[in-house]
Amino acid sequence: MHKKQCGNGVEMKQYEIVIGLEVHVELATKTKIFCSCSTQFGGEPNTHTCPVCTGMPGTLPALNKKVVEYAVAVGLATNCEITRYSRFDRKNYFYPDNSQNYQISQLYLPICKNGGIEIETAEGKKTVGIHEIHMEEDAGKLVHDEKRNCSYVDYNRSGVPLIEIVSEPDMGSADEVIAYLEKLRLIICYLGASDCKLQEGSMRADINLSVREAGVKKLGTRTEMKNLNSFRAIRRAIEGEKERQIALLEEGKKVIQETRRWDDGKGISYPMRSKEDARDYRYFPEPDLAPLVIEEEWLENIRERQPELRDEKMERYAREYDLPEYDISILTSAKKLADIFEAATALCQKPKKVSNWLMVETMRLLREREMDAEELSFSPGHLAGLIELVDGKTISGTVAKEVFEKIFDEDIEPKTYIEEKGLKTVKDESAIKEAVRRVIEENPQPVADYKGGKTKAMGFLTGQAMKAMKGKADPSAINKILLELLS
């Protein structure tokens, strides 16, 4: 609920916002939806193209089976009904990024419908309905050349498979929108159906937003906001559009149903309108593609192959590993993290230790490197090996942190690495004694403090000795020798 105050403090009308989302997700197939071109990101312009995805005359689409399977998998994971008899339709509009001047999509019989997912915000839990999920092809990329006053077309992305997840208008705040997107992202990542990167455009959200006076049932006129590349932009765009629409209504004006483009740099949106945009897409069933019949057997097969999703995983971790709830929520916050956890634990049988490495050091390094957990690339076996080395007192905790950083960055094999670098804990007592003796000599004040009863000084001296040993000593051994020499 949103209250608006006038300058003089008189309370004005109350408004609430109603938000529905259209989320486009690029599927993680090897090839495009209707041709055998690679979906690989990047590449020189128009090098991942063929006559089909560049709309050459006489070419025809051939549907990638994997696209259907991913779409159904996402539908199942979001509690949708799977449409048993589904079809593709053509959406006709002229634009240069659209090589055929029609997009193959699904209007009349989308592959999934009537689903929903539960989200949680500070306000509590609620279900956001999913109206439908349909399959379609992505468009090419346009780059503008101001100097030459022209645009360039690259069809590498043309025909990359997308699903569009259309929510019901069930969200009432930016927090709910973000919670919904996070949840969707996690589900889809867990399924392996997409990597869902907002910044790289593999997940894109368009926001349908309207405002209405509190208590009014009827929905207000909505606008559609495009070009939102980050959660930050989404939050700002929602705020901005809400203010804009309320201001219009307050002035007694009407909200026009239109598509607007968010400029995150300027923090404002512009209508995307042209008199040449008829917005009459003349949809009709795609005659070049056969309809889809999802038989029970196929559906069952996809269902069986469905990986464990987060909620199930959380339950299992509590049951199997006896970890604190906090650990579990972090470990399952990204599919990759959970995968590493499970694999490393399977090798070393020490769930809590694996969890600690992931929750503390891994998280710290991710933050420092500005990386996403899904980008983690080290071998779980190397983490398990590291834990064994610490537990066997082959290396100290200090050295272990240093080694882990190497594992994180370069995926080194810890045992070989510490051999090569000579990082093993020094077992030779005389060497430790030598170092401790030097520390005592060089630090007369702390030694005097200790002898004067300030036991805290002991910690400092141990640290100094450890430093002198370059971390390669067992702290308890140092402690023992220190006590010996000082007494």
Partner 1 sequence: MKLTDLTAVELGRKIKKGEATAVEAVEAVLAEIKEKEESLHAYITIEAEKAVEKAKAVQKRIEKGELLHPLAGVPMAVKDNLCTEGIRTTCGSRMLEGFVPGYSAEAVRRLEAAGAVMLGKTNMDEFAMGSTTETSAFGATKNPRNTEYVPGGSSGGSCAAVAAKECFFALGSDTGGSIRQPSAYCGVTGFKPTYGTVSRYGLIAYGSSLEQIGPIGKDVRDCSVILETISGYDEKDSTSIKREDTDFSTVLTKDAKGLRIGIPRNYFSEGLDDEVGEAVLDGARFLKEQGAVLEEFDLGLTEYAIPAYYVIASAEASSNLGRFDGVKYGYRAMEYEGLHNMYKKSRSQGFGKEVKRRILLGSFVLSAGYYEAYYLKALKTKALIKREFDRAFERYDMILSPVAPATAPRLGESLKEPLKMYLSDVYTVSVNLAGLPGLSLPWGQDKKGLPIGVQLIGNAFGEKKLLQAAYALEQGLSICTKSSAEMGLR
Partner 2 sequence: MANRISAGEMEYAGILAKLSLTPEEQKEAGKDLEQMLNYIDKLNELNTEDIEPMFHVFPVCNVFRNDEARPYEGGRNKILENAPEKREGRFVVPKTVE
Q: Which residue has the tokens 């989302």?
A: 21
Distance CA(291)–CA(61), nearest Å, equals 13
Q: Which of 55, 116, 172, 463 binds partner 1 (CB under 8 A)?
A: 55
Scanning 54-62, 76-84, 210-218, 454-462 for contacts with partner 1 by CB under 8 A, the matching segment is 54-62
Distance CA(211)–CA(192), nearest Å, equals 36
How many residues touch partner 2 under the rule CB under 8 A: the total is: 49
What string of DSSP letters covers 13-48?
Answer: EEEEEEEEEEEEEE---SB-SSSS-B--S--STTSS
Distance CA(125)–CA(116), nearest Å, equals 13
**H or E stretch including 89?**
strand 89-92
Report long-range pairs for 330-333 (Cβ below 8 Å, ≥24 apart). Answer: 330/358, 330/359, 330/363, 331/355, 331/358, 331/359, 333/186, 333/373
The one of partner 1, partner 2, none whose footprint includes residue 283, by CB under 5 to 8 A per kind, is partner 1
Return the axis-axis angle of helices 174-191 and 65-77, rounded to nearest 10°. 130
The one of partner 1, partner 2, none whose footprint includes residue 222, by CB under 5 to 8 A per kind, is none
Give the CA-trace dihedral at 175, 178, 184, 190, to 10 degrees. -110
Scanning 56-64, 75-83, 352-360, 462-470 for contacts with partner 1 by CB under 8 A, the matching segment is 56-64
Q: What is the sign of the dihedral through the CA atoms of 67, 82, 100 and 150?
A: negative
The one of partner 2, partner 1, none whose footprint includes residue 90, by CB under 5 to 8 A per kind, is partner 1
Helix intervals (H) in 277-379? 296-305, 310-321, 325-331, 335-348, 351-356, 363-369
CB of 149 to partner 2, least distance (A): 5
Residues 127-146, interacting with partner 2 (CB under 8 A): 142-145
Write the interaction track for partner 1 spanning residues 284-303; mark x where CB under 8 A is met and - where it is not: x--xxxx-------------
Residues 94-133, interacting with partner 2 (CB under 8 A): 94-96
245 within 8 A of 209, measured Cβ to Cβ: yes
Write the interaction track for partner 1 spanning residues 99-138; mark x where CB under 8 A is met and - where it is not: xxxx------------------------------------
Beta-bridge partner residues of 263? 268
Q: Which of 290, 304, 319, 430 binds partner 2 (CB under 8 A)?
A: 290
The one of partner 1, partner 2, none whose footprint includes residue 201, by CB under 5 to 8 A per kind, is none
Q: Which of 3, 13, 47, 96 binds partner 1 (CB under 8 A)?
A: 96
CB of 255 to partner 2, least distance (A): 23
Tell me which residues touch partner 1 (CB under 8 A).
51, 54-63, 90, 92, 94, 96, 99-102, 153, 274, 276, 280, 282-284, 287-290
Tell me which residues touch partner 2 (CB under 8 A).
29-31, 36-38, 44-51, 54, 62-66, 68, 87, 92, 94-96, 142-145, 149-155, 275-276, 278, 280, 282, 285, 287, 289-293
